[in-house]
Amino acid sequence: SRFETCWPALMKDSHGVIIIFNPELPSHLKEIEMWYSCFVQQQPLLDSQCLLVAHHKPGSAGDTENLSLDHPLNKLKLIHSNLEDDPEDVRMEFMKYFKSIITFINESREREEMSIIS
């Protein structure tokens, strides 16, 4: 991809990864495996630091129930966004995700400080 040379700069010191994709495009389902591999596994980040967002375009059938992802993507938190229907739900999920990332950062900072002290 054209932007691969930028990836190391994007990944540096990142604490979380949100992957947004169109579940109706088979090519996207293949691509998210690559994004997950590069941006989560190779860093390495924990699966809990990654959020998958299946974004359904307005007017799309959007079968949210039957989207089954293969291992290892099926271990990740997956939310469906359809801004026509319920943007509030998506906002709540984003807030939960950001809170978990902030908690994670604070806990790792505390662990670092403790290891310096001891």
SS3 54: strand
**CATH code, 7-117:** 3.40.50
SS3 45: coil
Could you state, in order of their start, the residue ranges of all structural domains in the chain? 7-117
Of 58, 99, 94, 60, which is closest to residue 77 (Cα–Cα)?
94
Tens of pLDDT, residue by residue over 43-72, are: 889 999 999 999 988 777 655 567 888 889
Specify whether the CB–CB gap between 32 and 73 falls below 8 A.
yes
Overall pTM > 0.75: yes
Tens of pLDDT, residue by residue over 3-45, are: 778 888 888 889 999 999 999 888 888 899 999 999 999 888 9
